[in-house]
Structure 1
Amino acid sequence: MGFRNHFLLLSLMAAFLAVTVNATPPTPHPKPLHQFHIPKPEEKGVNSIGVQGMIYCKAGSELMPLEGAMARITCIAVDKHGFETSSYTVMSETDKAGYFLATMPLAELKEIGNITECKGYLEMSPLMACSIPTDVNKGMTGATLLGPRVLLNNKMHLYSVGPLEYKPVSS
């Protein structure tokens, strides 16, 4: 290999190293406006997190509770550097009043990492006639949880979301 080839090879290696060294690292997961709080074990025996809400069918000005509708709560976990590592999802079905309560044991949440945010979503309507999800209170794009309140009797931090709504197919 002549001088010219060595020079060309060294120039290419230097260019590669310059690009590699100056490469932009991946962007960490943005910090949410509402920091999700996982209770510490010493917080009066709290052993779970709950998310409650209501799901309705809204036809015109009438709100009808949807029994059997499914809500989805999805939480994002990040590592110590702020990079998203995994997610945790729990589903909950509404009762005849349209109320749901999704519970998440702390032991399961702590296994996946540092939870930074959880959001509530409409997942499924039991009525074909009222099955169009709406983004009222961000039921489709992700509703921010409000709270928490500490329920000592239930040993739970309780958050609230919604109310969330479906609309009739004919609307």
Structure 2
Amino acid sequence: MAFVPAKALLLVLLLHCFPVLSHGADSVSMAESPHHNAPSYPPVEAPKQPKSSPPAPSQPPVQPPTQSRVYTPSPAPLPQRSFVAVQGVVYCKSCKYSGVDTLLEATPLVGASVKLQCNNTKNPLVQEAKTDKNGYFFMMGPKSITNFGSHKCRVTLATSPMATCKKPTNLHAGLQGAILMPQKQPPVTSLPKQQLPPYQLFTVGPFAFEPSTKCPH
């Protein structure tokens, strides 16, 4: 057997092992490279939120029907019973307006008589009064007549003191009889109140007399 030098044997061994080392280095380099056959995964999508419907409008709470209160009016107080008093004014009409229902250019008639007649009893009850300088009259009714029976009373013209103005007219029912109209204002009489009993005031008129002849031309 021929003798192989030690150096030659070492060289053969190195040549025999070099491809293995080279192949191992390539494997290591491929394993260390991040771009070599990297696994691919599908993109991760965010979880989808379910579509929520808008909230239904809230209904107001149903109130139970309230029972309306029944209003019962209190009875009106009954009027107090009192005596009857009547007031009014009497005029003398201008001859220019004779026969016309107007008081244009009329003047108050002093001393004229008016009559209050109440038919509440079997026999009519009559009271009379005269006018003052302003043509105003005020009189108390019969004491047996109260305001409860005033609807049966009427006031008419009686007489005139003026010869040239003595024809009674039916202005405001001065001839056929005027109905008593309740009056809230106090009378303009000059009589002291303490001399008069409690009464309810009524108003009639104004009344008028007129000339019985035509005006002179």
Q: What TM-score do you get using the length of structure 2 for normalisation?
A: 0.49
Offset at 1:115?
A: 5.7
> What residue in structure 1 maps to residue 174 of structure 2?
139
Judged with a 3 Å threshold, the aligned counterparts in structure 2 of structure 1 residues 65 and 134 are, in CA distance, closer, same or farther, namely same
Paired position in structure 1 for 2:17: none
What stretches of structure 2 of length at least 5 have no aligned partner? 1-78, 97-103, 187-192
Correspondence for 2:106: 63
Equivalent of 1:128 in 163, 168, 172: 163
Paired letter, 2:84: I
1:168 aligns with 2:216: no
CA contact (8 A) 2:89 2:136 kept: yes
Paired positions, count = 118
| Cα separation, 2, equivalents of 1:39 and 1:102 | 20
Question: 2:131 maps to which residue?
Answer: 94
2 CA distance for matches of 1:87 and 1:75? 6
Map of 2:3 onto structure 1? none
Residues 55-98 of structure 1: CA deviation (Å, up to 9, x unaligned): 000113311101000010111115xxxxxx22111000000000
Matched, 1:109 2:133: no
Gap regions ≥5 residues in structure 1: 1-37, 41-45, 79-84
CA distance in 1 between counterparts of 2:135 and 2:211 reads: 16
Deviation at 1:161, TM superposition (A): 0.2
The 5 Å alignment of 1:17-96 reads 39-40=80-81, 46=82, 48-59=83-94, 60=96, 61-77=104-120, 85-96=122-133
Q: Determine the C-alpha separation between the residues in 2 that align with 1:150 and 1:65.
A: 21
- Distance in 1 separating the partners of 2:169 and 2:142: 29
> What's the C-alpha RMSD, in Å, of the aligned pairs?
2.4
Q: Is the 8 A contact 2:86 2:140 kept in 1?
A: yes
> Does residue 158 of the first structure (1) align with residue 193 of the second (2)?
no
Distance between the aligned counterparts of 1:88 and 1:105, measured in 2?
7
Aligned residue identity for 1:56: Y
Residues 1:66 and 1:150: Cα distance change in structure 2 (over 3 Å): closer
TM-score, normalised relative to structure 1: 0.61
Structure possessing the higher relative contact order (Cα contacts under 8 Å, 6 or more residues apart): 1
Radius of gyration: which is bigger? Answer: 2
How far, CA to CA, are the matches of 2:108 and 2:185 in structure 1? Answer: 26
Code of the residue aligned with 2:127 in structure 1: it is: V
- Conserved 8 A contact 1:77-1:116: no
In 2, Cα distance between the equivalents of 1:86 and 1:148? 27
| Aligned counterparts of 2:129 and 2:180: Cα–Cα separation in 1 | 15
